[in-house]
Structure 1
Amino acid sequence: MSEKSIRYIVYVLKTGLFILPALSLIVAGSFFFPFITGKNFFFRIMVEILFFLWIFVACFDKNYRPRKSPILIALAATLFFLTLATIFGANPYRSFWSNFERMEGLVCHIHLFLYFLILASTLRTKKDWNWFFVDLLGFSFILTVYGFLQFFSVLSVHQGDIRLDATLGNATYYAIFMIFSLFLIGFFLAKTKNKWLRLGLGILFVLDALLVFMTATRGAILGLFGGAAIFAILMLVFNFKKSKKIRYAALGALAALAFAAVLFLLLKNTAFVQNNYVLSRMAGISFSERTVESRFTIWKMAFNGFLERPFLGWGPENYNLVFNKYFEPKLWKQEPWFDRTHNIIFDWLISSGALGFLAYWSVWGAAMFITIKGYKKKQFSAAETSLVIGLFGAYFFHNLFVFDNLTSYFLFFSILGYLHFKYTEMSGAILERAPVAEKPAEEIKLSSYLIITAAFLAVVFSLYFINLKPILANRQLLAALGQIQTKGMDVDFMLKEFDKVFTYNTFGTIEAREQLGSYAEQLLTAEAIPADSKNKALSKAIEEMEKQIVRLPDDARAYLFLATLYTKAGRLNEAIKTVSKAIELSPKKQQIQFVLADIYLTSEQYDEAFASLKTAYELDPTYHEAAKNLMLAAVLTNQLEYADELYQKGKEIHGGFFDKLTKSPRFVSAYYKIGNFQKIKEIWEYLIREQPNNAQLYVSLAATYLQLGERQNAIKELEKAIELEPKFKEQGEYFINEIRAGRNP
C-alpha cells in the first residue's frame, strides 16, 4: 500500500469524523422515536464504515494504531465488564439490543468504544484536534440558533411546553449538549488572543449559558453553577501567587455565584420567581418536592437491586426489572414504569455491578490524572485544566439526576479522545509520521489482508443485522401505526402490516407486539367492525404477547399486557394466572392488583376482587385510586359500613377530590347491584350540584325517586329536566302522566 493511498484514506477517515457531530441535528421523521433512532442509526453506520477504513489504514501504517493510555485501558475494562454483565445479566437480549426508545445497550457501548479508537488513532496532531473542536462548535452554533428560534416561537418546541429542546427532542439532552458547548467555547477563549474572536466567543458563551437556563433542566443548571464554581476555585488556586488580576477575577466570580445563590434563596417565594417557569422550577427543589422525593425512593430501590446482584449487576437496560421487584407503593404519584434510575451512580451499579462501576469511574479517574499531569508538564494551561475539571464536575452533577444519551456520550468520548491524545503526546507515543515501510508480499497476504477481510465481513454483517434490519422494522412499525387512522377498520390489512415488522425479527418486535395489543384493544370499542374481525385481531395480539413473555420472562409489564388481552377475550382463568405471575415479579405494585381485581369483577367474583383491592389499599392508604377501588368492592360485597369508613378517610386525606372519584356512574352501578337506591340518590344529588344544567341528571334522579317510592319528588325532577331541555318536554310529560296514573314508565 503506497503512502499516497494511505493519506487519501486517512483524509476520508477525518472527513467522516468531522461529519459525525451532525448526528445532533438529525430528526428522522419517518422513524419511530425520531429524535432517538435516527441519531443512533446514523452514528452506528458511520462508525462501522470508519472502523473498516481505520483497520485498513492501521494494517499498513502502524502510526495509526491505538496508543496505550490510562483512558484506553479504563474504557476497555468498562466494555469488558459491560459485556460480562450482558452475558450473565437478567435479560441478555434486552441488554444487548436495548429498544427504540433508548437505543443504548451493549451495542451502543461497543460503537462508542470503536468511535474512541478511531478518533484517538486518527487525529494525531494539535491542528487535527483544533479543527475537530471547531467543527463541534459549528454544529453547536446551529443548535444555539435553533434554540433561540424556539424561544421566539419561530420554531415549535417538540416537548409541547416552553422548555427548549432544539433537534434533541428533550430539554435535558439539549441542556447537557450546551454545557459541553460552553466548555468548547472556553477552550478556544483560553487559546486565542484575537480580540474580535474573543468577543464573538464571549457572546456565544453568554447565549449558550442562557439556553441552559431556558431548558429549565434543574440538574443541568445546578451542574453549570457547580462547574463554574470548580473552575473559579481552580483558577484561584493555580494563579494565587502568579497573577493578581486572575486571582481577583476568580474571587469575584465566586462571590458573584455565592451572591446569586443567596439572592435566589431570599427571593424564591416572591411573585417574580414564582411567576417565572424556570425560576419556579428551581425554587421548587426540596427534599419534600414530589420529583426529588421520588428520586430518593428510586435510588433506594436501585440500591436494593444492587445488593441482590453486587458483582456484575443486572445487565444494561434491565433496571425495569429492579424497579418492578423492589417497587415502593408510595411511587403511585409517578409514572408507572421506570427503566432508568436517573442517577449515574446507580445506573452503573445496576447495569454492570461493582466491577463495571469501578471500571467506569476509572475512566473519570484516568481523565483527571491526565489533566493534572498535563498541567504539571505544562501541556495544559491553568485555564484549560480548570475547564476540563469544571466540565467533568458539571457533567457529573447533571448526571446525578438524569441519565446519559447518545449525544452526551458522543461529546464525553470526544473529550476522552482528546485527553488520550494529550497523554500520548506527553509520553512521546506520537512521533513524527514515519514513511510507510514496504512489507514482503507474503507478510501482507498473511496478516494485513486477513485482518482486513475479517473486518470487512464483520462490518457487512453489522450493517445488515445491527442497522439495516432494525431500520426497516422501525420504519415499518411507524408505517403500520400511521395506517391505523385511515385503514384501521381493515383488520386483515393491519395484521399484515404488523406481520411485516415481525418478519424482520429484530428487537423492534418487542415494541410492535405492544402496539398490536393496543390496536386490538381499540378495535373492541369500534361498533362498525364485525365481531370475527375483532376476535381475529385479539387472537393475533394474544399470540404475539405469549411470545413476548418467553422473550421477557421476568418483565411484569409484559405479563400485564397479556393478562389484559386474555380478559378482553374472556379467557379469565388464564388472565388470573398471568396476573398472578406479574404479582410475583412486582408484589407491591398497586396497578397490578387493580388489573387482577378487574378480572375478578368481570367474572363477578366480588369477594376475590375485594381481597385484591384491599391488598393494594393497605400498601399505601393515601393512594386515592386504591381507596376508591376498595370502596367500590366494599359496596359490591355489601360491606357498607366499611365503605363509609373508607369514604370518610378518603375525604380526610383528599377532600372534595375524593367526592368526585366516588360520586360516579360506576358507583351508581355498584349500589344498583345491591339495591341501595338511597346511596344512588345521594350520588345524583351531588352530580346535580356540580352540573346544575344537565337535564339528564334530573331524569336519572327522578328514576331513583321512583325506586324509593317518592313519586311526587320524581315528578318535580322531571319538571326541572323539561325546563332545562325543551326537547325533552313531550317525553317528560309522558313520564309524568304515567307516574300520576300510578304506573312506572
Structure 2
Amino acid sequence: MNFFIRYEKTIIRVIQGILVTGLLTPFIVGTKHLFPFVFPKALFFQFCVAAAFILFIGIVISNRRHTPKPSVLLVALGIWGLSIVLAGVFGFNFINSLWSKAERMDSIWFYGHLFAFCFMLISVFKTKEDWLFALRSNGLVGVAVGLFALASKYMPSFSKFGDQARLSGTFGNPSFLATYFVIFVFLCFLLVQYAAKRNEKIWWLCCAVFGIVLVLLSGTRGAYIGTAAGLGVWLLGLLLFGSRQYRKTGMVLVCVAFLLGGSFVLARPLWERAVPMVASRVYSSLSIPTQRLLVWQLGMEAFQARPLVGWGQENFIHAFNQYFNPDIFKYEVAIFDRPHNKIVDVLATTGAIGMASYVGLFFVIAFFLIRRAVQVRKAAMGWSMELGIVIGLIALWSAYHVQNLVLFEMPTSAIQMFFALALSLWFLDSGWNPLGHTGKSENIDYKISPVRTGLYAFASLGVVWSVWVGTCIPFLASRGFINAMVYFSQPMNEEYFNKGLSLYVQSRNRNTFLNKEFDINLARHIRNITIPRTEAWAQAYVNFGHTILGYLDDDMNRYREDYDILVEASNLMLDLYSKYRDPQTEALRQVSTRAIGYAPRRFEAYESLFLFELIGNNKDEAQRIMDQLFRLGPTIGDTWYYQALFDAQWGDRGAVIGDLQKSILYGFSLHDKAREQEWLLNMFVSQKRFDEASAFLEYLRTEPHAPSQYQIRYGVLQVEVVYLSGDVSRARLLLQSLLSKLSDSGKQSVLQYLNSRGIIVEP
C-alpha cells in the first residue's frame, strides 16, 4: 500500500486518464462480434471502469479523503441504484436483469459499472481544472465521432457502417447517435460558459451547433423535441436571470427561433425541397405513432401487474409478450423490448419503488439547481459564470428528460448521461468550494496495516475475476460464435461444417450470458442454409439440429417462460420434420403449446403449429388454428399468408393469389421472406401442381412492390419449376429471357446454381 501513498498524485492522474479513455466508447465497433455497434462498446467501457477501479480501491484504502463526503445527492443516487438491483432480484427473471443481452447490454452489471464510473468521477475530478479537462476531452471526442459519422454518410468508401439515410455513424442506429449528441450539445454550452478566452468560446459554440446539425441529420424526432426544449429553457434562463445585455441577446435569439419556426409553417414546400429528410421528420414530430401509444399502454398494464418492484431490468420483453396487442402489427411489424418512453420503462421494469427513486434523484438535482440559481443571482446582482453553469445544467436535464419521453438509453448515451450526472453532483456539492488536492501530509494516514493490504488484495482480485467473467470470456465467446457463423454462411462442405460446429460448441461451452443468443441466432440461421442433397448430409443436418435443440432445452430451464426460446425451438423442430420427417411430433406440440400459454396473443407459436398440422394434412386442427389467428388479427398480413397456405391445401385454390395480395396489403413483406415463399412453392411442387407453382412465381415477379433484386431469384425458381414439370422447351425460353438481362458473371452464377440442383438446360 506504500506504493499508493508514494505515487498518490500520479495514480490519481492515471485514474483520470482511464476514465476519460472510457469516453472513447462511441468509436468502438467490433465487426467480429454479436451486435457490433453495441456489445463491443459495452465491453470496452466495462474494461476501462474496472481498470480504473482497481487503482481507485488502492487510493481509497490508503487514504479515505479521496471519497466524496456524504450528501443528499449521493444518497439519492445510491437509492436509485439499489432500486435497480431490488427490481432485478424480485423481478421476472434475475439472470436477464443481471446480464442483459448483447443487443442491449442494459443490465444490472452494466449499470454497476456506470455507477462506479460516476462515483470515481466525483472522487478524482475535484477541481474546476479537473472538470475542464474532462469536459474538453469529452467535447473533442464528440467532434471526432461526429466527423466520423459524417464521413460514413458522405464518404462511404472511407467508412462503411450500413444505411446512412438517417445519420447513425459508429452507433449503428440514428436514435442512439441522437441521444448521445443531445447531451453533447449542452455540455458544449457549459464549456462556452467556462471558457475564459473569446476564441475558445467561439470554438465550443461552433461545436454545440455542430452537435445540433448531427441531431438533425439523425432524423430522430424525440431528439429534435428534446433539443428544442433544452434550448428553450436556456433562453428562458437568459431572460429571467441575465443582465440587460444577456436579456437583449436572449430576445434576439427568441426572435430568431420564432422566425425559424414560422418559416417551417409558412414555407413548408421550400423546406421539403431543401432538406427533405429533416423536414419530413420535423413535420411528423408532433404526432406520436399509434404503435408507440399501444406499447405505452401495454407497459402500463405490465406496471399494474407488478406495481411494487416491476419486472426487472431487461424483462420488458416478457411483459410485451404476455400483454401483446395484435393491433400493433397493423402499424408496424416490430417487436418492442423497450416501451420507447423512459417513464413507462422505469415503471414497468422497476415499479413504484424504482420510479420514486428515479424521480426523487432528479427532483433533488432540480431543487438544488434552482436554489443555486436564485442564490447566485442575488449574490452577484447579475449574470455570472456560475449562473451560466446552473442554467446550462437545467437546460441539459430538460433536454434529456424531454427526449426520453419517446426514446430510451443505450450504453453510449448512458455513459454521457452518467458523465453529466457526475458533473452535476460535483458542481452542486463542491464545485465552487472544492476539496482539492491539498498535498498536506496530515491528511494522509501512513499507518498501512496488513488488514488494509489484505483487503486491497482481496478487492482487486475480485475486480480482476469480474473482468474475466463479465468481459473477457464473453468477448472470446462472441468472437468465436461469429467465426462459426462465417463458416455456416459459406457454400456448405464437410470442412466448413465441422469447423463451424466446433467453434459454435466451443463458444457455447464458455457458458456465458450470450448462450441464449447464440442458440437462437444459429437456430434461425441454419433453416436457411443449403446443404448437398445426400443421405449423409441429411443425417448430419438432423444431428446438428438435435445439438441446437439440446442447448435450447438448457436455455428453457435457465430462462423460465422465455417465449423466444420456445418459438425458435418449435421452428427448428418444424424445419427438421418438414425436410427430413424427423419425429418431433409431440415435442413440437408441447413446446408450441407452452409458448402460446406464455404469450396467448402473439402469432409465431400458432404459426409453427399451423404449419405442422398442414404438413400432417390435419385439416380440422389447421382450421382451428386459422380461426384463432383471425380472431387475433384479421387485418394482419401474416394471417392472410397462412390463409393462402390453407386455401392452397384444402380450400379455394383460386383464392390463393387474392390471399397473398391481402397479406401484402396488410404489411406482410412476402418478398423478404424466402422461407415463407418456399413453403407455398414446395406445397405446389410436392403435389405436382407445377402450373400453380409457376403462376405463383410469376405473380411474385410482376407484383408492383417486388424489389428488383428479387426478380432474378423468382426467374431462376420459375425455370426450375417448369423444368421439373417436364416442359424443357419452355424452361429453355424462360432461361434465355432471364440470362439476356444479366451480366456475364450473373449468367455464370445462375447456370452454376441450376446445375447444382440437377437442372441441365442449354440456353
Query: TM class by shorter-chain length?
Result: 0.7 to 0.9
**Is the contact made by 1:225 and 1:257 (CA closer than 8 Å) also made in structure 2?**
no
**Aligned match for 2:537, one of 517, 530, 534:** 530
* Cα separation, 2, equivalents of 1:439 and 1:687: 78
Structure 2 counterpart of 1:504, from 495, 510, 523: 510
CA distance in 2, matches of 1:143, 1:656: 37
Task: Name which of 478, 482, 486 aligns with 1:478.
Answer: 482
Q: Deviations over 1:533-561 (max 9, x none)?
A: 11221111111111121122211111011
Which deviations, in whole Å up to 9, do the C-alpha atoms of 1:416-435 show, x marking residues without a partner? 21222223327968366363
Counterpart Cα distance in 2 of 1:699 and 1:503: 42
- Give the 3 Å change call, closer, same or farther, for CA 437–337 of structure 1 in structure 2: same
Q: Which residue of 2 aligns with 1:614?
A: 627
1:389 aligned partner? 394
Q: What displacement does 1:164 show? A: 2.1
Q: Give the AA of the match of 2:428.
A: Y
2:234 & 2:338 partners in 1: Cα distance? 30
Q: Which of these residues, 122, 128, 133, is aligned with residue 130 of structure 2?
A: 128
Aligned match for 1:419, one of 409, 424, 428 = 424
Q: 2:15 aligns with which of 13, 25, 31?
A: 13
Q: Residues 622, 435 of structure 1: CA spacing in aligned structure 2 closer, same or farther, 3 A cutoff?
A: same
Cα distance in 2, alignment partners of residues 312 and 200 from structure 1:
46
Q: Taking structure 1 as reference, are residues 32 and 232 closer, same or farther at Cα in structure 2, changes over 3 Å only? A: same
Larger-gyration structure (1/2): 1
Aligned to 2:284: 284
| Counterpart Cα distance in 2 of 1:659 and 1:474 | 31
Which of residues 75, 80, 87 in structure 1 aligns to 2:82? 80
Kindly state the Cα deviation for residue 520 of structure 1 after the two structures are TM-superposed.
Answer: 3.7
- In structure 1, the residue matched to 2:170 is 167
Who is 2:527 aligned against? Answer: 521
Gaps of 5+ in 1: 707-716, 729-745
CA distance in 1, matches of 2:730, 2:437: 96
Partner residue, 1:710: none
1:261-300 pair list within 5 angstroms: 261-268=261-268, 272-273=272-273, 276-285=276-285, 287=287, 292-300=289-297
Q: 1:614 offset after TM fit, Å?
A: 2.0
For structure 1, which segment, 68-77 or 89-98, has the greater mean C-alpha deviation from structure 2 after superposition? 68-77
Looking at structure 2, the residues matched to 39 and 437 of structure 1 have their Cα atoms a distance apart, in angstroms, of 42
Trace 1:270-349 onto structure 2 (pairs within 5 A).
272-273=272-273, 276-285=276-285, 287=287, 292-332=289-329, 333-349=331-347
Q: Which residue of 2 aligns with 1:359?
A: 357
Residue-by-residue CA offset, 1:385-416 (whole Å, 9 max, x unaligned): 22111111111122222211122111111122
Corresponding residue SS for 1:569: helix
2:97 matches 1:95: yes
2:212 corresponds to which residue? 209
Alignment of 1:12-31 (within 5 A): 12-31=14-33
Secondary structure of the equivalent of 1:34?
coil
| Residue deviations 1:577-635 (CA, integer Å, cap 9, x gap) | 21111111111112332221111111111221122122112222212331232254255
Distance 1:371 1:687, change over 3 A: closer
- Contact 2:11–2:55 (8 Å) recurs in 1: yes
Q: Label 1:526 to 1:268 Cα distance change in 2 as closer, same or farther (>3 A).
A: farther
Give the distance between the partners of 1:373 and 1:205, measured in 2 at CA. 27
Q: Out of 29, 33, 40, which is 2:42 matched to?
A: 40
Q: Do the aligned partners of residues 382 and 546 (structure 1) sit closer, same or farther apart at CA in structure 2, a change above 3 Å counting?
A: same
Q: List alignment gaps of at least 5 residues for structure 2.
A: 377-383, 578-583, 704-710, 739-763
Distance of 1:457 and 1:657 partners within structure 2: 52
Measure the CA separation in 2 of the matches of 1:259 and 1:87: 53
Change (3 A) 1:180 1:192: same
Bigger Cα displacement from structure 2, 568-577 vs 596-605: 568-577
Asked if the contact 2:637/2:663 (under 8 Å) is kept, the reply is no
- Partner residue of 1:578? 591
* Aligned counterpart in structure 1 of residue 151 of structure 2, from 149, 152, 159: 149
Alignment correspondent of 1:569: 576
CA distance in 2, matches of 1:252, 1:133: 28
Q: Counterparts of 2:545 and 2:471 in 1: how far apart (Å)? A: 31
CA–CA distance in 2 between the matches of 1:472 and 1:505? 11
What residue is the counterpart of 1:735 in the other structure?
A: none
2:327 is paired with a residue whose SS is: helix
TM-score normalised according to structure 1 size: 0.85
Q: In structure 2, what is the equivalent of residue 587 of structure 1?
A: 600
- 1:725 positional shift: 8.0
- Spell out, residue by residue over 1:505-533, the C-alpha distance to the aligned partner (whole angstroms, 9 max, x if none): 11111111123323442456543662221
Residue aligned with 1:311, SS: coil
1:64, 1:121 within 8 Å by CA — same for their partners in 2?
yes
| Contact in 2 for aligned 1:183/1:391 (Cα 8 Å) | yes
**Structure 1 position 11, deviation (Å):** 2.3
Distance 1:675-1:516 versus aligned 2 partners, 3 A rule: closer
Corresponding residue number in structure 1 for 2:379: none
Matches within 5 A, 1:618-637: 618-634=631-647, 636-637=649-650
What amino acid sits opposite 1:280 in the alignment? S
The verdict on how the C-alpha distance between 1:608 and 1:265 changes in structure 2, with shifts beyond 3 A counting, is farther
- Structure 1 residues 436 and 44: CA distance shift in structure 2, 3 A: farther
Counterpart for residue 742 of structure 1 = none
Deviations 1:63-116 (A, max 9, x none): 202322233112211111111111111111111011111122000111111111
* Aligned residue identity for 1:10: I
Name 1:542's counterpart in structure 2: 549
Q: Percent identity?
A: 21
Decide which moves more: 617-626 or 371-380. 371-380
Q: Rate the CA distance shift 1:611–1:118 in 2: closer, same or farther, 3 A.
A: same
Matched, 1:250 2:263: no
C-alpha distance in 1, partners of 2:546/2:173?
Answer: 37
Give the drift of 1:249.
2.3
Amino acid at match of 2:488: I
* Residues 643 and 659 in structure 2, CA contact (< 8 A), matched pair in contact too: no
Q: Any idea what SS the aligned residue of 1:444 has? A: coil
SS at match of 1:167: helix
Q: 1:56 aligns with which of 31, 43, 58?
A: 58
Q: State how far apart, in whole Å, the 1-side matches of 2:173 and 2:99 are.
A: 22
Secondary structure (helix, strand or coil) at the match of 1:402 reads coil
Aligned equivalents of 2:588, 2:686: Cα separation in 1: 25
CA contact (8 A) 1:235 1:247 kept: yes
Offset at residue 209 of structure 1 (A): 1.7
Alignment match of 2:368 (pick from 367, 370, 378): 370
Partner amino acid, structure 1, of 2:337: D
Output the CA distance in 1 between the equivalents of 2:258 and 2:248.
15
Bigger Cα displacement from structure 2, 549-558 vs 330-339: 330-339
1:734 maps to what in 2?
Answer: none
**Aligned 8 A contact 1:223 1:397 in 2:** yes
Q: Is the 8 A contact 2:183 2:416 kept in 1?
A: yes
Give yes or no for contact 1:63–1:434 (8 Å, CA) kept in 2. no
- CA 650–172 in structure 1, closer or farther in 2 if over 3 Å, else same: closer
Structure 2 counterpart of 1:117, from 116, 119, 122: 119
215 and 537 in structure 1: CA distance in 2 versus 1, 3 angstrom threshold: same
Quote how far apart the aligned CAs of 1:380 are: 6.0
CA distance in 1, matches of 2:614, 2:431: 73
* Contact 1:316–1:350 (8 Å) recurs in 2: no
Q: Deviations over 1:223-246 (max 9, x none)?
A: 11121111111211113xx31x32
* 1:430-461 alpha-carbon deviations (Å, 9 max, x no partner): 366363449898x6326532431331121122
Give, in whole Å, the separation in 2 of the partners of 1:521 and 1:651.
23
Under a length normalisation based on structure 2, what TM-score does the superposition of the two structures give? 0.83
Letter aligned with residue 483 of structure 1: Y
